Structure 1
C-alpha cells in the first residue's frame, strides 16, 4: 500500500521523508494513482461516508447504463464505448467504496492490507481505462461528424470493440508495470523506479490523454455551432460526448495540479488529497446523469422509460437516416397528434 510520507523543512529547502518500508501502512492512505502519500494527516471521518454514499449512487447509475446499453438497446459504435466506460467507472467506484468501508472502520491487519492492495490495482486499472476511452470516443465522434456518411458507414463494424479491447490491454499493462516498479522494486522517494513510474503515469493521464480528448471536442464545438447557425437541431450524441469530456477535464484539475506540483517542483499540493479523490468519484458517478439529461424529452411526461431516454441520448443527427433522425421524429410527432388536430 501507499507509504506515509511527510515533509521536513530545513534551510536548504524541503525534502520528502518516508518511514521504513517495514512499517505498517496507515488505513487512510489513498493508494490509487501513487504509492506515495503527500500528507500524513487522515481525512475527516465524515469524508469516508461521503465517499461511500457517492460511490453507491454512482454504482447504481453505472449499473443501469451497463444493463440498458448492454442488453436492452441496439448496439451502435458509441454504445459500445459508453458500455466499456461505464464498466471502468463501476470498477473504480467499487474499489473506492471498499476503501471507504475499510477507512471508516479503521480495519488493520494482513487481510485488510491485502484487500487495499487489490482495490488499489483495480482502481488504478479502471481509472486508466476510463481516461484512455475518452480520447477514442471524442476522436471517433469528431470523425463521424466530419467524414461524409457514405465513408463513415464503411468503417469496420467491430472497430469500437477492438479499440476498447486494446485500451483495456494497455491499462492492464500500465497497471502491471506500475505495480512492479513500486511494490516489487520498492517504494521510496521520487527518483527511484516507483517515482519514475508515477511520473510516467501522470504524463500518460494528463499531458498525453487530455489534449487527445480536448482537440476533437473543439472540432465538435465548431461543428455544432455551424449547425446552430443553420437552425438545425444539435445531435444529442455530440452533446453527450462534449459533456462527458468536460466533466472529466473539470474534475481532473485538482489531480493534475497535485501531480504537477509534486513531480515538477516537489512541493505538496495546497489542498488535501481526499479532494482529488472526491473529484474522481464525481467524474465516475456523473456520466449516467449526463446520459439521462441529454436523452430526456422535456415535452413528454415527467416519467418515461429509461430505455427510451438512453436510446435518445445516443441519437446521432450527423448520420443520414440514423436513429431518431428528422423523418422518424416527424413521423412520431404526427402519430402522437390527437385525431382531428390537423388543419
Structure 2
C-alpha cells in the first residue's frame, strides 16, 4: 500500500530473463497450461530417453551421434525441470521446500537450455566441414573432437548458469549486474549462436540443391541437421522477441512466460520426432525397429563414398546391409 493509504503502487518491471525471477505480466497462466506442460514434457522425455538409449548403446558411435546424444541429454534436462515446475504449479504447492525445488529447476533448466542451443552451431559447423572438406574430415579430423567439444560446451553452460544464479538469485533480480548477465545471455544466444548455426546450414542447403540438380541422392543427415536447427529457430522466436523488445526498446515482454516456455518445450520434444521421420523408409514395411530407423537417420553413405573415392550408387546397398545387421533378432 502507498503511505497515504491509496491504491497499491505498480510493481517495478524487470526483464523476465532466462530464469523468470520476475513476471512482467500480471496475467497468471491458466490452470490447463500446467497439464499441457506435463503432457508435452512427458512425451518429450520418453522420446529423448529412447534417443539416449539407442544412440548411446545400440548404434555404433559416430562424430554426429555424439552431438545428438548430448542434445538429447540437454533437452531431457530442460523438459524434466519444466515438468517439475508444472507439477508444482498444478498442485499449488507453496512454502520453502517448493520454492527451493523451483529455484533448482530453473537453474537446471537454464543450464540445459544454454547447452542445447550451443550444441547446434557445433553440430552444424561439423556437418558443414564434412560436406565441404570430406577428405580432411574422415582422415585428419581428431577422433574425439565431438566429445571434447561437447564437454567444453557443458562446462561453459555450467559457468554461465552459476554466474547468472549468483548475480540474479543471490544479489537479487533488481541488481544492475543481473541485468548485465541477462543481456549477455541474450546476446550470446540470439546474436552469436543463432548466426553461427544458420551460416553452416546455408552451406548445407546449397549442397543439397547442387545434389538435386545433379540428380544425386543427398544424405539424410543433412536433412536432420537442417530440420533440427529450423525447429529451434521457429520455437525460440517468441523468447527472442521478448528479449529484443525489452533490452532495445525497454518494452515489457508482450508474450506471457508460459508461451515462450511452451515453445521451448516443443523444441526439446520435437528432435526425436525429426530423427524418426528422417529415418523412416517409405519403401519398407510399416513397422520397423527403432534402432534401424535411427541408424538410417544418421546415414552418411554419400559423403563416405566421396571421401573414399567410391561411386554414387554404392552406398545404398551398403546401408541396406547395415540396417539388416542392426535389426534385433535378424539372422538372415
Asked if these proteins are the same fold (TM beyond 0.5), I'd say yes
Pair 1:187–1:331, CA change in 2 (3 A): closer
SS at match of 2:305: coil
Mapped pair 1:244 → 2:239: no
The answer to which of 218-227 and 311-320 deviates more is 311-320
Root mean square deviation of aligned Cα: 2.3
Match of 1:340 in 2: none
- Structure with higher RCO (Cα < 8 A, 6+ apart): 2
Query: Structure 1, unaligned stretches of length 5 or more?
Result: 1-14, 20-29, 337-343
CA distance in 2, matches of 1:104, 1:31: 23
CA contact (8 A) 2:275 2:297 kept: yes
The change in CA–CA distance for 1:63 and 1:195 in structure 2 (over 3 A counts) is: same
Deviates more, 1:237-246 or 1:269-278: 269-278
Change (3 A) 1:212 1:31: closer
State how 1:47-86 maps to structure 2 within 5 Å: 47-86=33-72
Unaligned residue ranges in structure 2 (runs of 5+) = 1-9, 324-332
| Distance in structure 2 (CA, Å) of the matches to 1:147 and 1:16 | 56
Deviation at 1:47, TM superposition (A): 0.6
Would the alpha carbon gap of residues 57 and 332 (structure 1) be closer, same or farther in structure 2, given more than 3 Å must change? closer
- Determine if the alignment matches structure 1 residue 88 to structure 2 residue 74: yes
Residue aligning to 1:187: 173
Q: CA deviation at 1:214?
A: 0.3
Quick one: distance in 2 between partners of 1:93 and 1:151? Answer: 34
Q: CA deviation at 1:329?
A: 2.1
Between structures 1 and 2, the one with greater helix share: 2
In the alignment, which residue of structure 2 is the partner of 1:269?
A: 253
The correspondence for 1:319, drawn from 304, 325, 330, is 304
Distance in 2 between residues matched to 1:268 and 1:146, nearest whole Å = 44
Q: 1:109 aligns with which of 75, 95, 103?
A: 95
Pair 1:329 & 2:316 matched: yes
- Output the CA distance in 1 between the equivalents of 2:98 and 2:17: 14
- Tell me the SS of whatever aligns to 1:318: helix
* Off by >4 Å, runs of 4+ in structure 1: 331-334
Shift of 1:289: 0.2
Conserved? CA contact 1:131–1:209, under 8 Å: yes
Q: CA deviation at 1:31?
A: 7.7
Task: Decide whether the 8 Å contact of 1:138 with 1:241 is kept in 2.
Answer: yes
**What TM-score, normalized by structure 2, do the two folds share?**
0.88
Please name the residue that 1:232 is paired with.
Answer: 216
In the TM superposition, residue 308 of structure 1 has moved relative to its aligned partner by 0.4
Instruction: Determine if contact 1:33/1:124 at 8 Å carries over to the other structure.
Output: yes
- Cα displacement (A) at 1:45: 0.4
Report the Cα distance in structure 2 between the residues aligned to 1:309 and 1:245, rounded to whole angstroms: 20
